[in-house]
Structure 1
Amino acid sequence: MKKVVLNCGTPKELEAKRIVEIKSLSYLERLERLMAILEVSYMLKTAQKIQSKK
């Protein structure tokens, strides 16, 4: 089985790939991604911390 490589490349190459990917999306898809990021950010901000019992 082939090993999966997630982030291969220099930071500039990865940024360029990301920009091309974003530009290929429609306005609605960009808005949906932004809303998902905002929802996750809000959940993380308002979440109660769970303390480990050790």
Structure 2
Amino acid sequence: MKKNVLSFGTPQELEAKRIAEIRSLSYLERLERLMVLIEVSYTLKIAKVIQSKKR
């Protein structure tokens, strides 16, 4: 995976860069990214539930 670089610009420019990056990925790479997002989302959801039970 390539090194992440912070980029500054208008929201429209940043969105266009993200769209171009996504379009350049293969189907498998897109699927891997989706699975990572789902896993992180699930982990955050579970962490909130556990944290609320401790209070």
Give the TM interval when normalised to the shorter protein. Answer: 0.7 to 0.9
User: 1:35 maps to what in 2?
Assistant: 35
**Any gaps of 5 or more consecutive residues in structure 2?**
none
Q: Among the aligned pairs, what percent are the same residue?
A: 70
Question: Which amino acid is the alignment partner of residue 30 of structure 1?
Answer: R
TM-score, normalising length from structure 2? 0.76
User: 1:49 maps to what in 2?
Assistant: 51
Aligned residues: 47
Higher helix share: 2
> Following superposition, which runs of at least 4 residues in structure 1 exceed 3 angstroms of deviation?
none
User: 1:8 maps to what in 2?
Assistant: 8
